[in-house]
Chains A and B, each alone.
Chain A
Amino acid sequence: MINTIDEASIIAWIDGELASAEADRVARAVAGDPALAELAEAHRDMRARFDAAFATLAMPAAAEVVSLADVRAQRAERARRPRRWIPAALAASLVGGVLLGQLVPRSGGISDNADALALSPALGRALDQQLSGDGATVRVALSFRDRAGRYCRSFTASRLSGVACKDDGLWHLRYGEGAAGARTDYRMAGSEPVAMAAVTAMIAGEPFDRDQEQAARARGWR
């Protein structure tokens, strides 16, 4: 039996690449042979291990919003330095610059600083004033502090959902996803798995309860 089932078949079986007759043949062989069962288990475990470790990457980088001009300047600067000098966080922020430059809607989304992309005044007001769960065009799902101590809130607006943190008196997008056109079903931003993963990556401690939110709001999220 072991001669007719090789490791390639076991791997293809685990990957779901075999037609049903062939898959049945491998399944029967594995069930009847402890050595094959062990091999299949090892490959299944390894695939699951890679899945788990790499899954966190498949969400947009929780990146600072930077301008494309800054991105180019930093890349030019970086080209003149040893590569490993640049910390990963900065590299991640460069990615955010390109991405969020694409994501932020053309209308609004411009701060008074020409070099930075901040959130629109309306979104900023909503983040300043609303409590989680309030029904409005902008919905805030969660409030928390990130590891640097900044106040952050996850939100869903009509064309953008994500997580913003307040820094120097302005809300900055730390993670954003564009939504094509108007959305009819507003889900809570925090309930979306990807946004939730971003929150999980950023949060220090627990999300705020209502009292903590009201206290933070009273302080202007500073």
Chain B
Amino acid sequence: MTAFEHELASVMPRLRRFAHGLSRDATDADDLLQATAERMLRARAQWEPGTNFVAWSYRIMRNLWVDTARARQRHTSVLAPEEEGLAIGMSGAAEASVELGYLMRAMERLPDEQREAVALVMIEGLGYAEAAGVLDIPAGTLTSRLVRGRQALRAMLENAS
């Protein structure tokens, strides 16, 4: 296995989680993960060994997600109302995935710029500087989006309980 393949394999679990932080449901998340893996394999020549592979892969996923934002908004706007509610998991779904689906729907209600900040810091555990680097925004911008996103999530989860 080449160094690149090893890096790719080891980063996939984290990318899978990040994809769920960004996406409206597990199907979209798996699509995004698949597209990211393919993009990374095609772009492998652009990665310089010794540089931060994880940040590079987060950036690729985030950019793919941004590219599909317009299609995503159209999709969301035509959703039937009952799909927006707290649906129960399909057959065989564990309780954990009901909770996950619930939190993903809460995340989905955030504006994209807040959602990506929250996903990188609160779910992926990146530091503020690192997250700002992935998103290519100043640290202060990252912080304010992160705080607004967390305040909105807290309000949503408190109202729901």
Q: Is the pair A103, B34 in contact by a Cβ cutoff of 8 Å?
A: no
**Distance of A109 Cα from B115 Cα, bound (Å):** 41
Chain B positions within 8 Å of A43 at CB level: 150, 154
> If A56-B96, A88-B27 touch, does A95 touch B16 (CB 8 Å cutoff)?
yes
Partner among B9, B92, B128 whose Cβ is within 8 Å of the Cβ of A103: B9
**Distance of A55 Cα from B147 Cα, bound (Å):** 22
Partner among B26, B31, B154 whose Cβ is within 8 Å of the Cβ of A46: B154
Q: Is the pair A60, B103 in contact by a Cβ cutoff of 8 Å?
A: no
Q: Does more than half of chain B's interface fall in helix, strand or loop, or is it mixed?
A: helix
Interface flag for B54 (CB, 8 Å): no
Partner among A46, A47, A99 whose Cβ is within 8 Å of the Cβ of B12: A99
Q: B107 to chain A: closest CB distance in Å?
A: 9
Interface flag for A17 (CB, 8 Å): yes
Closest chain B residue to A201, Cβ basis: B94
Closest chain A residue to B97, Cβ basis: A56
Interface flag for A183 (CB, 8 Å): no
How many residues of A are counted as interface, with CB atoms below 8 angstroms from the partner's CB atoms? 45
Range of interface residues on B (Cβ < 8 Å):
35 or more
CB within 8 Å of B: which residues of A?
Answer: 7-8, 11-12, 15, 17, 42-43, 46-47, 49-61, 71, 75, 83-84, 86-88, 91-92, 94-95, 98-99, 102-103, 105, 147, 159, 177-178, 180, 194
18 contacting pairs across A/B (C-beta < 8 A): A11-B150, A15-B128, A43-B150, A53-B100, A54-B100, A55-B17, A56-B96, A57-B17, A60-B12, A60-B13, A71-B34, A87-B27, A95-B37, A98-B34, A98-B37, A98-B41, A178-B1, A178-B6
Known: A15-B128, A159-B1. 17 other contacts (CB 8 A): A8-B147, A11-B150, A15-B122, A46-B150, A47-B122, A54-B123, A56-B96, A57-B20, A57-B100, A58-B17, A75-B34, A84-B27, A88-B25, A91-B27, A91-B31, A95-B33, A194-B13
Closest 10 CB pairs of A and B: A91-B30, A57-B17, A58-B17, A88-B26, A8-B147, A58-B13, A53-B100, A102-B5, A98-B37, A53-B99
